């Protein structure tokens, strides 16, 4: 589904996505700190999602706009929520298993997975440029992971790659929903649907928390909600292939936070492999942009 031209504001979309990259990088710091403090991943996800529902209800009620939360696409919202929940489990899990910079870099392979999915599932014709980018990106993964070296935990690398795969699926779902739904409507129903299975699991995983842990959970919820809104808004005003370029700025923040909070800087393999993955993503974004221009010209000529 293509958004009306009037809704497209490319520069605004890029700025929103840039803000989202920073906000979500801060959120991942909270994720790592809270899980290291002893809170289970399932409970972390529950508290990440729960405040979203009452906060958005209160916001729209104060604006007398509760009707915005109504939707005729509940099935699509439910599907996006289940995919998003699986993606969050993997994404948060990767952050707990890997240093921040490495986990963030593996997330960039979502653009590569998107190409693979478009070829295998959507049967889209993928040319040599994008297949070359896929090979380049996975070469970067091998350089960073260095299988058999023991430098990075294999489980962490696998979980991070799984998270990136889910991000590719989620981006397609959000892009579709954003054509008819308000960004906060998508965020609201994602939280509302996902807290059901998380709530069922809570009696089995919940423990008493210290004030420090509650502070971390509160920060996680706040930055998670803001980041989710910014991501969704960016996809409303710009194409996936264009705005996703801004995601690479999160590597700068992840490296900085990893150094400030943990005193860690990426190793040599990271500095060698990350440019390959980023380069692959940029190549895919460039090629997607060129293809969209060709399609636009073809439609004008018809």
Instruction: Name the residue ranges covered by the structural domains of the chain.
Output: 5-301
pLDDT at site 3: 44
Tokens for 255, please give them: 């490296």
Q: In the block, which residue shows the tokens 């005003």?
A: 237
Report the alpha-carbon distance of residue 70 to residue 93 in Å, rounded.
33
The ranges of the chain with pLDDT < 50 are: 1-6
Q: Is the dihedral of CA 30, 206, 231, 110 positive or negative?
A: positive
- Closest by CA to 141, choosing from 110, 178, 184, is 110
Q: In the block, which residue shows the tokens 């490495």?
A: 102
Q: How many CA atoms lie within 13 A of 233 on its CB side?
A: 18
- Closest by CA to 43, choosing from 220, 258, 167, is 220
pLDDT at site 296: 65
Query: pTM surpassing 0.85?
Result: no
């Amino acid at each position: 589904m293509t958004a009306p031209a009037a809704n497209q504001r490319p520069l605004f979309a890029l700025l929103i996505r840039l803000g989202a990259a920073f906000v979500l990088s801060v959120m991942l710091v909270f994720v790592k700190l809270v899980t290291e403090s002893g809170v289970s991943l399932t409970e972390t996800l529950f508290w990440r999602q729960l405040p979203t529902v009452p906060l958005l209800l209160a916001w729209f009620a104060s604006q007398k706009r509760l009707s915005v939360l109504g939707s005729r696409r509940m099935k699509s919202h439910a599907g996006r929520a289940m995919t998003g929940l699986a993606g969050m489990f993997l994404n948060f899990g990767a952050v707990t298993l890997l240093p921040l910079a490495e986990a963030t870099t593996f997330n960039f392979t979502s653009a590569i997975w998107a190409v693979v999915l478009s070829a295998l599932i959507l049967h889209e014709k993928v040319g040599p440029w994008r297949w070359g980018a896929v090979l380049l990106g996975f070469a970067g993964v091998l350089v960073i992971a260095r299988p058999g070296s023991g430098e990075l935990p294999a489980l962490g690398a696998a979980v991070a790659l799984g998270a990136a795969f889910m991000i590719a699926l989620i981006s397609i779902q959000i892009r579709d929903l954003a054509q008819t739904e308000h960004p906060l409507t998508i965020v609201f129903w994602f939280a509302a649907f996902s807290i059901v299975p998380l709530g069922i699991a809570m009696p089995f995983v919940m423990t008493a928390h210290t004030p420090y842990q509650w502070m971390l959970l509160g920060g996680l919820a706040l930055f998670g909600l803001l980041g989710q809104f910014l991501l969704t808004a960016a996809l409303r005003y710009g194409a996936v292939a264009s705005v996703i370029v801004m995601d690479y700025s999160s590597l700068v923040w992840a490296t900085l936070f990893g150094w400030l909070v943990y005193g860690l800087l990426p190793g040599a393999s990271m500095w060698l492999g990350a440019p390959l993955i980023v380069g692959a993503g940029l190549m895919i974004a460039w090629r997607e942009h060129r293809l969209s221009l060709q399609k636009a010209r073809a439609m004008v000529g018809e």
